[in-house]
Each structure stands twice: as structure tokens, then as C-alpha cells.
Structure 1
Amino acid sequence: MTTTSTDTIPGADRPAPRRGADALVDALVAHGVTTLFGVPGDTGVVFYDALHGRTGDIEHVLARDERHAASMADGYARVSNRVGVVEVSSGGGTTFVVGGLGESYAAGIPVLLITSDIHTSSRGTGALTEIDQVALFTAVTKWRTMVESADEIPGAVAQALHEATTGRPAPVAVIVPEDLLEELTDAPVEVGAPGARVPSARPVADAGAVAAAARLLEEAACPAVVAGGGVHLSDAHGELAALADALALPVATTIHGQGAVATSDPWNVGIVGNNSGQPGANDLVAGADVVLLVGTRGNATDTNSWTAPNRTTASVIQIDVERGRAGRNFPGSLGLVGDCAEVLRQLAGEVRRVEGPARAEREERAAAARAAATPRTDGDEFAPGILYPRPVVERIRAVLPEGTTVVADPGTPTPNVAAFWTQDSPGRRTVIPRGHGPMGYAIPAAVGVAKARPGLPVVSVTADGSFSMACGELETVVRHRLPVLFVQLTNNSMGWIKMLQHLYTGGRYFGVDPGPVDAVAVAAANGMEGARVESVEALDAVLADFAANPRPFYADVRVPHMIDFAPPVPAWDRGLTGDAERPVY
């Protein structure tokens, strides 16, 4: 039976004095935090003592590396729309966690970082692990605070969660010196604290701007939508589908937006952009006269180097919750500042339904765009013992149930999973880190996804380079007995960079060919079953076995080098025909 440290003194309005560490746990629990990812350190020992007595209220998931703990929190947040919480200690813990937070910050993912710091009396003495944490986290958090007394801790947590979940979601940090974790406080925790969910507020756009956008969309001859990850964070899937149906709008998605509409939705045309972008989707958006961007940064990669939509020929409308991002990348565009679901609802209330010949013509354009997808290879094997990545992804999806979530690393996994994973209903079923594209993300992020969706199978598609960065977390998966199937696409190279050298530096390969690592043996050393997959039949057997008994399992699949068989990256298709100009990122 767990105990709490918030018993009140009879007749008093404030709780009995307890340690700052206990007040910190109280605040997390009051705000609905049930899962915490972290790695212990010297300065956080008292916090861990407080967690020891609250295991019935909050689960601590011990990671093997602070960067990985941040990736776990990121994955948890993406699929739950709850704030992911990560805890580290001063010194190496803080510097390591920055690498994980960078992805969350760039991708707009709400993560709360809790970090302990050196004793206040040791400041400026050159103490072991001393570093200016406020300065350190400036580049990877939207808000941060160093508490100066235990009394400030509950309020700091409340403010941090508010900042993380309002406006554009992003990481925030609460820094607590170790002596304040022991300092007694009777500061109350906010009664009826709102849950740590996004969005915590749903602002609407200016009515005049909405009316102007509605007229542009109604008068367009060839309109289109590009949907990004903001659709998932806003849970705006129904609103997007309703507007697309009303105006007969073909919908392309970015990688982060994959699943904004179901694959089978008649208005879905696939992924747009330069990484995994489908030819038909890119052409349709490039040829559109009015393009509605919904919850996407609209950066160079997502727009195929500013060609889809075209900066000079298209009228662009951009929905974004952050004023500074609404229309930023498209001069002269119309920004609609507000929550995606609310603004889509506003637009739907302003427009007239498109019927007749215009609707039929747009249906034909959407169907043609879907048909103009990356062509399927003639077979599944590139060479004896080497499988194409696409049939690997397609076979996984065909065997595992609809509720399966797939997490993909950069490199070979990203374009293949983004382009070829299908889903029958809208929602975030693919998790791909395209904020910064950090290698080593998919293994730890799968832990966070599995914790957020308990009991549902998870597939983590990694590659040999990423595996070597994150394989320590295989033990974490085994320890928690999570239903995660790891599929490693192995080509024994830093494939993405080697392809860039192949196309743009005359094939002068340098620093891209590490030696092989026996991933299955490493998985076994961590207590995980595994197999090398060298045929379609072997892959099918692994998938059938996992489907029947979901559990930690590692499958190592050999795939061709990118220089021998390129993934769906439009710029590389041009490069292979002689275009030596590197794509703009």
C-alpha cells in the first residue's frame, strides 16, 4: 500500500510539512502524470527516495542513458497527447539529455524535464557536475526555471505544464537544487490541477482572416491541403476530414502528419516533400493554385525544396497555433493563428459544399495522384539473402493488427515506413523523428510508445548505425516485458551519408563504413529473442510468431545499400539522372 506525503493538519488549509522532493511528486501526481522516464544521479537521490513511496501513483521507467530517457518521453507524448516527463541529475545527465530534447523542441512535442542541481551552497565553487543549467537548456526548451526554495516547487510544476501545453507544444524544464529536495515545505499543490494534456487551450483564429481563407478555398480551381503533426496534437482528424469532404480537397501529409487522414480516405494522396515524398502527391501540391497548410512547419524538406506548394504560383493559407510560424515560410501567405481543430471548424462553417463537375474533377486528380506513387519492385528480394525494405514494411503491416504503432529511425527506415505503412483509420500510428532526424531514436522511443499504449504491439524499425547508438535500451524493453518487435534494416554502412557522397561528392566515400555488429547476439545478451532474416519466408515466420505472442523480439534483416537501390527520396531520383545540385534542407 502506498502512502502520500500530503496529509493535512486537522483544521489547517495547508498540507503538513514534507520534503521538497515529496512536494515535487505530489505536484506531478496532482497533474495526472503517471509515468516518468529517467536515470538516477547523485543530486537526485532524495527525489528517488520520494518516488520509492509512491509507486502506486507514478511509474518510474529506468533508462540506460539520459538521451534515451528523453526519447522515451517524446514517444510517450506523441501517441498519448500527454506531456512526457523525463528526469535527470546534474552534470553528465543534463548534457546528455539535451540531445534528446532537441528533437522534441524542433518537432513541437510537449516534454517536461525535471533535473536536480548541485547544492546551492556550492554554486560558483567549481563543484563536481556544476553547469549553468538554465543557459544549457535555452536552445531546447520554450520555458525553464530554477527554483530557489522548496515552497516554489508545486507552482513551478504547474507553470511548466501550462507552458508545455499552450501555444506550440515544446519541452520545458524545472531545475531543483539538491538541498531544496530535502528542505521542508507546506506549500499546497493546486487543487483540481488540469491534466498534463495537449492542447490545454484551443484559441480560434481571427474571423476576418477565416472568411478570407474560405473565399480563397471556394474560388480555387485546383486546391490542396498539406497536413502536419499539428493535426495529431490537436486531435483534429475529424475536422480535417470534414473540411476535405466539403470542399473536395486532396490531402497530402508530411511525415509527422502521416495518419492525419486514413490511407483509404478518398482524398488522401500520400506523403509530400523530399523525404519519402510520393511523385503524385508532390506533383498535385506543386500544381495547386491554393494550398492550405495545417499544423506543419512547411520547411524545405516538407515542401520538396519550396516547390510543393510553389512559393511563386500558389496562394498559401497556413493554420498554426504560433503566430510567428503561420505563413513564415511563404511570403504573402494568409496566416490563421489558432488551434487546428478550432480553425478547421471555423472554415467549415464559412464554406459552401463543392458538388458537381468540380467535385468529380478533384476526385479524379486525387485518384491520379495516388496512382502515381513510387512503383513496386518486381520481387521482394534484391539478391539472395537481401530483401528490399518496402516489402519488409508491407509484410509487417499486413500481418500485425490495425492498432500497431510503428516507430522508425532516420536513414533507411524513415522513407520506407513513411511511404509504405498504411492505416485504416486516422490517428498517429507512425512515429518518426523529423524535427532533427536523430539516429538512435527508434529503440528508446518504442519504450515510451509501449508505455503510453499498454498491451498494444509496437514495431521499432531501426538500422545498424542507429542500433549501435541505442542498443543498451534493449534490456529496458526486456525488463518491462514490452510487446516490441525490433526490425533492423542492415546494410553495414552510414547509408544516408554514403548516398549523399555517392551523388554529390563524386563517390568519394569517407567515414561511412563501420564494421559489422552482430545485433542478434547483442539482443540475446540483453535477454531478448532474435533471428537473422535472410528470406521472405523467414520474415513471414517471425511476423506470425510475434503476432501470436507479442513480446520483445529482434529481427535483423539485410537490405541493399542505398547506392545500389535508392529509397523514395525525390531529390535522389533527380541526382541519379545527373542533377548534381544538392537539395535544400
Structure 2
Amino acid sequence: MNGADILVEMLIGYGVDTIFGVPGDTNVPLYEALQAHEGRITHIMARDERSAGFMADAYGRFTDKPGIIECPSGAGAMYSLPPIAESNASSVPVILLTIDIPLPGEGRGVLTELDCAKLFEPVTKMSVQIKSPEKLPEIVRRAFRTACSGKPGAVHLQIPEDMLTAKVDSDRVSLHIEEDCKTFPAFPTRPAPGLVEKLLETVKQAEKPLIVSGGGVIRACAGDEILALAVRLNVPVCTTMTGQGTMPDDHRLSIGVIGDNGFHPHANRAMEESDFVLFVGSKMGSVVTIGWTFPKVTLNKRVAQIDINPEVMANNYENVVSVTGDAKLVLREFLKIVPEGFDGSKYHPWVNHLNSLRASFWQGAESLLSNDSKPLRPERAVRCFNQALEKSGKPALIYSDAGTPTPYMTRFLKINDPRTRFAIPRAFGGLGSALPATVGAWRADPSRRPIGLFGDGSFGMAVGEMETLVRLNIPAILILFNNGHYGWIKGLHRLKGHNQCFSVDFMPPKGQAIAEAFGLTAWTAKSPEDLDAALAKAFAHENGPCLIDVHIESIADRVPPVYSWLNKRGEDPLDLASKEVAYM
């Protein structure tokens, strides 16, 4: 066997069915091995290494398996860095294979020479160069073990081209795989004895307890456990942005999204008023706590954490209890010790109070959600999308870029189908991810409709991947929020008093024409009626990808539902009326 055959055999052994990548000079031996095993593993050619990384990221988010990406040396490796950094910081298991120049060329000025192992070291859990073909199986095993165990994340393997062409005596290597490490979580940990009992006692002592479900709950597929625990205890649940979809949004105990971007004022009030908050799978970072300024009453000594990563425990606040372990296993242990006849009736007034606030918010938001003015309001667009999604009756995998879709989708989107997932890459907030992510979502689960939401800034960065969608006949629904500038940045300029904004405007793309040029079916929507009609056609269109070019009001025209921005304008972010706020 040669090294490339060993690598592909190991990937297949670990259950890898898809590898995303871009061809180049150095990865030809890998492609020869993949072609020899065609039918056992599928290679998805992307048009850009960054896009391939976002495909792998979406695959890793929407499955319990790591996404795999490969790329050639030099620029290919450098283009791969943004999505790998995003995956690692977002706790998404991804493995990157950079196929590099042959080892004898090191330090001799060979074209595309780059110390990739060092380049990726700061943004991965593990980044190593393979210097012996016999080490390939061992290091591949370590890669899967590292990506999938503990806090999941990204792994990078720098593989010199000559490691793939070298002949290896099969008697000198073992191609065994570790079954535990084929999926996440590998080696999930249970809580230390006595800790869940302490949590229960703390809940019992509270008058206004609250559970906050973060992205770690989504990653651990522990939504059912959160729901079961909340119902058993009669304790309300809020989510972070990345935890959205943990529970059905219409459930009486599902209060809303906390934090800064796209927050629900009643959910933030729940944080402010509660006397005990249990965070599950959340780092309690700057977005959740609005730069550690919210809630105004400090969380010290009234907060507990459940997290797989001990490094985040009590990092920002003094915890009452810290429980390290896999969210699903810890919550199951918690459920076991809650007596069947547990009386949570004393929390009825607290739950009723929060639901009263929630009802007032949605009543106050109705004027925005039903506003038919032009240009189309983002709130109205979300309602159109929500209604079309529910009417379709089918689950979806929704991936949203940063920018216009984020605050409005987070605040107004309602997810009540547990099979539907909603993901936003929040670690670095880069643009250009949602369009290629639909490819990874489709490979993750073809039975759920892949949907990408993005602004025109993102569209310009990833437009070439529409060819990939057409080539693979992927039934993705792409929704372009089109207004001709980097709206978030322009809004930030205006928030700081710069009404003459600098270098943020560009020509609005002719989204429908561009999509049709690539072979997509496309529509343009300039009104709620247009959007309703286009969405109905899009959900009915299952033969290949389609795009809706939505001409929409910019985030730079009105202050979006962002706590810190509203605060800066002198408004009360916790006002339940959802009134319109101008910048100037």
C-alpha cells in the first residue's frame, strides 16, 4: 500500500462518507486514491478552499461526525484558515488535511512552501506535520480522537506529498480504528458524585430559577433532556443565540433568546430577575452577557454551570456549583434524582410572569411583523419565511450568515419542529459561509431541506459555489437579503454619529439574474406578497437549488434589535413595545 491508500482506508474505516476540497498540484495522489475507492467515499469539489471549509463546518454541526476538508499547499492552506478557526472556536469537530510539498523540499525555497503546522496551531486543538508514512494510521486515529473527545473542535494534519506516494509494508502498520471516536461525543464524561444532588438542592432553594441552554446543548443533542428536566422541575428556559432551537419556541417554559444580538427583552428580564441561573453548554461570553454588563445585578453566587470543558468553569462569575461533563449525560443524571412527585408549583407565579411578559412582547411586535411598507422590512420577511417553513411541514437545516439575517431571525424566527436546526457561526462572525454551508447541510442529511440566509456582502464572497449546488443538483433554498452595502458596518458608522458613512456601499447585485446565469431557478421579491409567492414556489421546488432575491430594508436604516446599540441610543432595550428606533 502507499500512504494515500492508507489515508483513504483509515477515513473510510472511521465512517467518513464525504470529503470536501479543492484540487491542486500536491493533492493529486490523494485524488488517485479517492478515485480508486469511488462509491465508498464521496469527494465534493468546491470552488474555493474557504467554501470547502464552511461545507465541512455545516456537516459537523448537523451530524455527530467530524467534517473532513482537504486542500493543496500554499494559498489553498491559507484560504482554509477562516472556516477552521470558526469551527474550532464554535466547538465543531472538523479535520483539515493540507497536502503539502515533499519533505526534501523543506527550507530550499520550493514554491508554496509554508509551515502549515505552525500556521494552524493557534486555531486548532491539534496541528501536526506527518514525517513518516508509517505514522499515518496512528496520527489519523489521534486526529479523530482529538476532534471528537472532550470539547470538540478542529484538527489539522499537514501531510507532505511524498508521504502519500511512499510505499508502506502493511505488516508494519495497523489500520485499526477506534469505534468510540467515529462520532462526537467520544468518551463522554458523567458528573462527579454529589454534584447533581447539589444542583437540585440549589434549585429547590430558589424562588425564581432559570435554565440557560447554550450551543453545547445543541452539539450534545441534549434538547430532549433540557425539555424533560424543565417540565419535571417546572423551570423556565432561555437560550443563547447558538442554543436557539433547544426547545419548541411555543412551549410555555421556552422563554426566548438572551444576550445582545437579536435578544428577547422578556428573556433578558428573566436573567435580570432570576435568583438562580443554571447555564448548560455556554461559555457565558461577551454576547450572552453584553460585554459582562448584563444582568445589572451580578451573577456572582447565583449561577451554576454544566459544561464539557472545565476551563470555562467560573471563568467570569463565581459559581455556586460547577459540573463538568457531557450535557446529555449530566442532564440524564439530574433527571434521575428528581423525585417523580416533585412539586414545582411554587414556580407557577414566576413562569406565569415571564409568559405575561412574552405575550406583551409578541403583541407589541405585531405592528412590525405585519408592516407591508417598502422597502420590505426584515421583520416582515421573517414572518413570511416562518409561515412558509411551517406550511411546508418539512424539517430544515438552516444556516445563517452574520449581518442582516442574524438579529431579526434570532428575535422573530420560531422553531417548533424538533427536526429543524438553526445555526449561526458566531465565533468570528465572518461573511460568506451560509451559501456553501447548504452543501454540507445536504450531505449531512438529505431528508432535511438545506436553507441558506445571507446578505449581499456575503453573497459576493461565495457566489461561485452556486455552480457547486447546480452541479450536484442540491435542493437548497438560498435567500439573499439585498440592499447594496455592508449593512451591519454602515449601521455601526451611523450609531457612532457618522451619517456620511465611508466605504461601505456597493452596487446591489442582480441576484435573480446572477442565479439564473448559474442555472438556478430564481425569483425577486420586493413586497410581502412577492416574498410569500416566491417562498411557496421555493419550498415546492425540489429539483435542484433555487434563490430568492429579497430587496430589503438595511440594518443601517433603523437600529436593529441589538441590546448594546439600543442602549447607546438612549433607549430601554427591555421595553416590550418593539418600537422603531432611528440612528440620528
Q: TM-score range by the shorter chain?
A: over 0.9
1:91 aligned to 2:81? no
1:94-243 correspondence to structure 2 within 5 Å: 94-185=77-168, 186=170, 187-190=173-176, 193-194=179-180, 196-243=182-229
C-alpha distance 346-578 of structure 1, shift in aligned 2 (>3 A): closer
Q: Give, in whole Å, the separation in 2 of the partners of 1:123 and 1:140.
A: 23
| Cα distance between partner residues in 1 of 2:244 and 2:135 | 41
Cα deviation 1:41-83 (Å, max 9, x = unaligned) = 1111100111111121111111111111110000011111211
Give the partner amino acid of 1:262.
Answer: P
For residue 377 of structure 1, what is the aligned residue in structure 2? Answer: 367
Q: Which moved more, 1:301-310 or 1:485-494?
A: 301-310
Partner residue of 2:244?
258
Secondary structure, counterpart of 2:501 in structure 1: coil
Q: After superposing the two structures, state which structure 1 stretch, 348-357 or 81-90, moved more.
A: 348-357
- Relative distance call for 1:89 and 1:285 in structure 2 (3 A) is same
SS at match of 2:315: coil
* Equivalent pair of 2:435/2:452 in contact (CA under 8 Å): yes
In the other structure, the counterpart of 1:547 is 539
- How much has 1:195 moved relative to structure 2? 5.6
Deviation, 1:39, is: 0.6
Q: 1:200 to 1:310 in 2, by over 3 A?
A: farther
Q: Alpha carbons of 1:455 and 1:341: their partners in 2 closer, same or farther (altered >3 Å)?
A: closer
**Would the aligned equivalents of 2:395 and 2:419 in 1 still touch at CA under 8 Å?**
no
1:316 paired residue number: 303
Alpha-carbon separation, structure 1, partners of 2:274 and 2:215: 21
1:130-162 CA distance string (max 9 Å, x none): 111111001211012211111111121111001
User: Could you tell me how far apart the structure 2 residues matched to 1:312 and 1:232 are?
Assistant: 24
CA distance in 2, matches of 1:346, 1:310: 31
Q: Distance in 2 between matches of 1:67 and 1:52?
A: 23
| 1:534 and 2:526 aligned | yes
Task: Give the Cα separation in 2 of the matches to 1:136 and 1:160.
Answer: 17
Normalised to the residue count of structure 1, the TM-score between the two structures is: 0.92
Residue 577 (structure 1) aligned with residue 570 (structure 2):
yes
Q: What residue in structure 2 maps to residue 414 of structure 1?
A: 406
Give the match's secondary structure for 2:99.
strand
CA distance in 1, matches of 2:21, 2:297: 44
Report the secondary structure of 1:376's partner residue. helix
Q: Which residue of 2 aligns with 1:368?
A: 356
Q: Structure 1 pair 528/67, CA: closer, same or farther in 2 (3 Å)?
A: same
Letter in 2 for 1:242: A
Secondary structure of 2:242 counterpart? coil
Distance 1:379 1:333, change over 3 A: closer
CA contact (8 A) 1:43 1:118 kept: yes
C-alpha distance 220-428 of structure 1, shift in aligned 2 (>3 A): farther
Q: Please list the CA deviations of residues 495-549 of structure 1 after superposition, one character each: whole Å capped at 9, or x if unmatched.
A: 1111111112443511211222222222122211212211222212212212222
Segment of structure 1 superposing worse, 275-284 or 321-330: 321-330
Structural mapping, 1:321-336, within 5 Å: 321-336=308-323
The residue that corresponds to 1:248 in the other structure is 234
**Is the 8 Å Cα contact of residues 118 and 129 (structure 1) preserved in structure 2?**
yes
Superposed CA deviations along residues 348-391 of structure 1, whole A, max 9, x for unmatched, are 2334565364132133033124224362335645643x211122
Any conservation in 2 of the 1:288–1:309 contact (CA below 8 Å)? no
What does residue 383 of structure 2 align with?
394
Rounded to whole Å, the distance in 1 between the matches of 2:327 and 2:545 is 37
Equivalent residue of 2:328, what SS?
helix
Residues 457-489 of structure 1 show CA distances to partners (whole Å, capped at 9, x for unaligned) of: 222111011101111111111111111111111
Distance 1:42 1:98, change over 3 A: same
**C-alpha displacement of 1:577:** 3.0
Question: Aligned partners of 2:378 and 2:166: how far apart in 1?
Answer: 55
2:335 to 331, 348, 352: 348
CA 1:159 to 1:312, structure 2 compared with 1: closer, same or farther past 3 Å? Answer: closer
* Structure 2 gap segments, 5+ residues each: 574-584
Kindly tell me: are residues 575 and 354 of structure 1, through their superposed partners in 2, closer, same or farther at Cα, counting changes over 3 Å? farther
Report if the CA contact (8 A) 1:30-1:193 is conserved: no
Write the distance in 2 (CA, Å) between the matches of 1:71 and 1:369.
Answer: 38
**Kindly tell me: are residues 351 and 305 of structure 1, through their superposed partners in 2, closer, same or farther at Cα, counting changes over 3 Å?**
farther
Q: What is the aligned partner in structure 2 of residue 268 from structure 1?
A: 254
AA at the equivalent of 1:478: V
CA distance in 2, matches of 1:435, 1:428: 22
CA distance in 2, matches of 1:399, 1:510: 37
Give the whole-Å Cα distance in 1 for the aligned partners of 2:417 and 2:517: 38
Say whether 1:338 aligns with 2:325.
yes
C-alpha spacing 1:309/1:68, structure 2 compared with 1 (3 Å)? farther
Equivalent position of 2:291 in the other structure: 305
Alignment root-mean-square deviation, CA: 2.0
Q: How many residues align structurally? A: 562
- Answer whether contact 1:381 1:535 (CA < 8 A) is retained: no
- Could you tell me which amino acid in structure 1 is paired with residue 272 of structure 2? A
Q: 1:23 to 1:103 in 2, by over 3 A?
A: same
CA distance in 1, matches of 2:262, 2:268: 10
TM score, norm. by length of structure 2: 0.92
* Greater Cα offset, 195-204 or 92-101: 195-204
Cα 1:309–1:438 change in 2 (3 A) is farther
Structure 1 residues 359 and 427: alpha-carbon distance in aligned structure 2, compared to 1, 3 A threshold: farther
- 2:510 aligned partner, one-letter code: D
1:405 partnered with 2:393: no
* Worse-matched range after superposition: 202-211 or 106-115: 202-211
CA distance in 2, matches of 1:549, 1:312: 49
1:475 is aligned to 2:461: no
